[in-house]
Chain A
Amino acid sequence: MKNNCQLNAAQLEAFGDEMYAIHQRARAARGAEDLAYIRGVMRTQLRCEIAGRALLFASFVPGAWLAGTSLLSLSKILENMEIGHNVMHGQYEFSGDPALSSRTYEWDSTCPSDQWRHSHNYLHHTFTNVSGVDHDLGYRVLRVDDKQPWRWHRVPQLAYAAGLAAVFQWGIAGHNVDMPKYLTTPSAERDPEDVRRVREMKAKSWRQVRKDYLLFPLLAGPNALAVLAGNVVANLARNLWSAAVIYCGHFPEQAQTFAPETLEGEGRGHFYLRQLLGSANFEGPRWLHVLSGHLSHQIEHHLFPDVPAWRYPALSKEVRAVCEKYRLPYNTGTLSSQLSSALRRIARLSLPPAAEPALAPAL
């Protein structure tokens, strides 16, 4: 096992034990307050959506279009970030409420929840930032890791990053399958699992498109174009925002990536350490945390993915104290500094590596 920091084996184990203790306390503390919180968010989200769509139908009234589009955007952001993502992690499953079951929740996105649970909950959260295993490292579109090979087509990847952000839900839906390979393989030779995934993705996408781009505009009659435009903008706003939050989570310059060998015989201490070193937080007012689904606390999220996300700000104090004790970095900054750091990294890696391959930053 390769140790990515200066902790010796005993220190690493002690670090793991401390993180595990925080994790256990947080799991044990889950209760009525968490339920009240998430139900409140869900109620708000549904009301925002109803109000948003109603205002869009009345968009001939001055200001109604903007208000409706804003409310619909807010609803979509809350649903994907604070509700869908977190419910699908099983953060509220302790309650036994079927509406909060991670197994059955379906979110308002073109990415089928089942595929998300596999690529995100399992691959990304278990093998966080491990090259070649965690496809969140660039979503098969961006080169965000020195260990990913450079090719000429990487040069304009800053533009790809912007483009991906605009259609982020489609990027997430597509990254469960190696699309270029899939599309260039004759249909008879395709992996049946990939074929199944693509079929599922098409079915889900059709339902999303049918709702936002067909039925609601048609129902609006003469107002169809305004409603269509509102829905396009709301989806775009949600895509841009979620992409920005996700780029900030693992792409800032200080967030480390790991070679597959790291996983060999990895113990609890190193697992927590890899989650810590591979993730980055951003700071801001409370509403910003809520809109990011508390992924502004990506570090805490990766350490404790099954703990209700709104608890992360409180947990971050304990995590930081442990990090200081073991002299480990705790990557945080403002939203703009983290985002520009992530974009710098994407820009840097659009160019070929220098003659000496860059090493993972030594700590």
Chain B
Amino acid sequence: MDTLQPVMADQFVESLRTALDRALGWLTYPRKPEEYFAALAPRHFGPLRAEIIALEPHFDGCATLVLRTDKRFVAHKPGQFVALTLEIDGVRRTRCFSISSAPRSARGPRVIELTIKSTARGTVTPRLVHPSIVGTTVELSPPRGSFVLDDELPPRLLFITGGSGITPVISMLRALDQKAIREGAPGAKGTLLHFAKSEREALFLDELKQMPWLDLHLVTEEALGRMPSLDEASLAAVVSDFEDTRAYACGPAPLLKAVEAAFAARGAPGALTIERFQSAFDSGGEGEGKGTVHFARSNKTVNDHRTLLVVAEEQGLEPKSGCRMGICGTCHCKKLSGATRDLRTGEVSTEANVDIALCSTVAIGDVSIDL
């Protein structure tokens, strides 16, 4: 009985709060109360924000951004990522980045680091790694993702990373290193197998060398004279009984495939946790007449490259439509993911969760539509 009362009190407070929110919503209808709060005190309401306070270049097209988040930001678990939103020429762009700093950063509370390697033709990352980005305020999501260390640390840890795939792992390693310094031992024996183009492009190399508890294996294309590859035998050369270690892998798709195959060959796929970085163009390719259209609600997938309105109607779906010439907006619908081209402007959109006009949009990659 003793434990029942606080639960009831909690429930009471909760239902009181719900009722209050609702009554407030009646007063502010059709707007939400938060919109009024945000108009009066923008710093305390609305989306989480962060200011980019510094940029530290690593090599061409790769830099670490230092961000000071606002007070509402909840500390991340090492390995998690945030969705960062910034407006470029008035268009909101959202991209996900692993947090590379440890939760307790030496730079102070509420400061996080994102290490970003730009994609050559990207719209967002080249801007982010340019020095002019310092001083910009961006929106952040709360930290997300399940690529995190187990609550109870296993005796041995294996990390396999390629290129910028080291960014979530460095956060884990930094947290473990802090623990090692604090407690004299990291609590686990760690091995890092990292693949990079060259020693110069191997991120955080000096810092990694300073971690005495970490067994570091760096494989570079430069030293090897060819693209490195990985299989069961070469992984066993690093950790002979790798199937019995808790493993984390992050990097390019071929690397992840090879790691998965190695663990599967030893019958231990469960020991491995993988983080995949994805781009809208990753599957299906880019260009008119490429990719598939997936209608998420009706769970239909087709290979049809006419306007999405025609494709949807052909599938027997009944999306609302009006003028069919991109004027009235009746057929606007949410695109959940993928690359599309707006036929009115020729613009390519790779953003997730944005509204598109079905009648004047075509898929140019694998696309998922909220229909």
Interface residues of A (CB under 8 A from B): 24, 27-28, 30-35, 42-43, 46-47, 49-50, 88-90, 93-97, 99, 101-103, 106-108, 117-118, 121-122, 125-126, 207-208, 210-211, 215-216, 219, 305-306
**Sample of 11 further A-B pairs with CB below 8 A, known A24-B345, A103-B332:** A33-B90, A47-B39, A93-B332, A96-B92, A96-B351, A96-B354, A121-B322, A121-B329, A122-B322, A126-B327, A305-B328
Interface centre among B40, B329, B332, B344 (most CB of A within 10 A): B329
Q: How far is the CA of A356 from the CA of B261 in the complex (A)?
A: 87
Q: How far is the CA of A27 from the CA of B90 in the complex (A)?
A: 13
Interface centre among B323, B327, B333, B355 (most CB of A within 10 A): B327
CB < 8 Å neighbour of B35 from A46, A103, A108, A121: A46
Q: With a CB–CB cut-off of 8 A, which chain B residues contact A49?
A: 36
Asked whether B27 lies within 8 Å of A97 as measured between CB atoms, the reply is no
Which 8 A/B pairs are nearest by Cβ-Cβ distance? Answer: A122-B322, A46-B39, A106-B30, A32-B90, A31-B90, A96-B92, A122-B328, A126-B323
Asked whether A89 lies within 8 Å of B30 as measured between CB atoms, the reply is no
Asked whether A125 lies within 8 Å of B30 as measured between CB atoms, the reply is no
Q: With a CB–CB cut-off of 8 A, which chain A residues contact B329?
A: 88-90, 93, 102-103, 117, 121, 306
Asked whether B323 lies within 8 Å of A94 as measured between CB atoms, the reply is no
**Interface size class of chain B, counting residues whose CB lies under 8 Å from the partner chain:** 20 to 34
- B314 is an interface residue with CB less than 8 A from chain A: no
Which residues of chain B in 60-113 are interfacial with respect to chain A, using CB atoms and an 8 Å cutoff?
87, 89-93
Interface residues of B (CB under 8 A from A): 26-27, 29-31, 35-36, 39-40, 87, 89-93, 322-323, 326-330, 332-334, 344-345, 351, 354-355, 357
Q: How far is the CA of A89 from the CA of B89 in the complex (A)?
A: 20
Asked whether B26 lies within 8 Å of A207 as measured between CB atoms, the reply is yes
Q: What's the minimum C-beta distance from B332 to chain A, rounded to whole angstroms?
A: 5
The residue on A at minimum CB distance from B40 is A50
Q: With a CB–CB cut-off of 8 A, which chain A residues contact B92?
A: 95-97
Known A31-B89, A95-B92; judge A125-B26 contact (CB<8 A): no
Q: What's the minimum C-beta distance from B204 to chain A, rounded to whole angstroms?
A: 34
Asked whether B322 lies within 8 Å of A50 as measured between CB atoms, the reply is no
Q: With a CB–CB cut-off of 8 A, which chain A residues contact B357?
A: 90
Q: How far is the CA of A244 from the CA of B357 in the complex (A)?
A: 32
Q: How far is the CA of A216 from the CA of B333 in the complex (A)?
A: 36
Interface centre among B35, B89, B333 (most CB of A within 10 A): B89
Q: How far is the CA of A88 from the CA of B355 in the complex (A)?
A: 13
Q: With a CB–CB cut-off of 8 A, which chain A residues contact B35?
A: 46, 99
